[in-house]
């Protein structure tokens, strides 16, 4: 874990979850029942996207 990739006091998992929420907003995905966005995120999308976020947080230079 690099100090440059993690905000003090926040875990990689927490940062990845924040990134997931940003991506969901950008792609107009609904992660829960409240909201006015247009597309429900299914289980596969959520898990795949979270895993990609976590990989990106852990190895930012590995992102193409």
Sequential pLDDT tens for the chain (64 residues): 444 455 678 999 999 999 999 999 999 888 876 656 467 888 999 999 999 999 999 998 887 6
Dist. CA 30–CA 62, nearest whole Å: 28
Give the closest residue to 52 by CA, choosing from 27, 17, 26, 4: 17
- Under DSSP, is residue 11 helix (H, G, I), strand (E, B) or coil? coil
**Which 8-state DSSP code applies to residue 61?**
G
Give residue limits of the domains in the chain: 12-62
Bridge partners (DSSP) of residue 56 are none
Q: What is the pLDDT of residue 2?
A: 45
């Amino acid at each position: 874990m690099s100090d440059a990739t993690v905000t003090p006091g926040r875990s990689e998992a927490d940062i990845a979850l924040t990134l997931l929420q940003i991506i969901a907003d950008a792609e107009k995905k609904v992660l829960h029942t409240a909201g006015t966005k247009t597309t429900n995120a299914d289980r596969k999308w959520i898990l795949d996207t979270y895993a990609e976020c976590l990989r990106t947080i852990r190895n930012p230079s590995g992102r193409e």
